[in-house]
Amino acid sequence: MWLQKEIKLKPKQRGFHLITDEILSQFPELVKIKIGLAHIFIKHTSASLTINENADPDVRTDMEAYFNKTVPENATYFKHTSEGLDDMTSHIKSSILGSSITVSITNGKLNLGTWQGIYLCEHRNNSYPRKIVITVYGE
């Protein structure tokens, strides 16, 4: 069985945000899948997805600090800044982290580890609604 759905995430401030529950609330059809895979793809070039720690919020703060230091907005060598200093840096961060993740499905649930959650990595200074396409294959 194949299922596919596009969902819209509420705008979030710049940073790393747990969105596992937001995804699940908008994709109740997942309970139909006994065993399968969920491919989760973000339709943007200035935000990304990743899986990481879901318990301690310091991890999300530290992830933001690391990427801001690694890809600084005040670098003078970026040419693509027409939408602001966060323009090119957002594209670089989203390329490093990636635009999609794949998660196993077991008995109608995402088979994430105890301490794992899905992150929306918002790299822009201004908030935007983000669109995600979830494609599920399973039985």
How many angstroms from the chain centroid is the CA of residue 93?
Answer: 12
Give domain status of residue 111, yes or no.
yes
Tell me the pairing of strands 100-106 and 109-110.
antiparallel
pLDDT of residue 32: 95
Q: For position 65, which CATH number holds?
A: 2.60.120.460
Give domain status of residue 2, yes or no.
no
Give domain status of residue 123, yes or no.
yes
Buried b / exposed e over 2-11, threshold 16 CB at 10 Å, is: ebeeebebee
Give domain status of residue 52, yes or no.
no
pLDDT of residue 84: 94
Give domain status of residue 42, yes or no.
no
Number of domains in the chain: 1
Give domain status of residue 50, yes or no.
no
Q: Which range marks the domain in which residue 75 is found?
A: 13-33+57-134
75-134 pLDDT, tens per residue? Answer: 999 999 999 999 999 999 999 999 999 999 999 999 999 999 999 999 999 989 999 999
61-81 pLDDT, tens per residue? Answer: 999 999 999 999 989 999 999
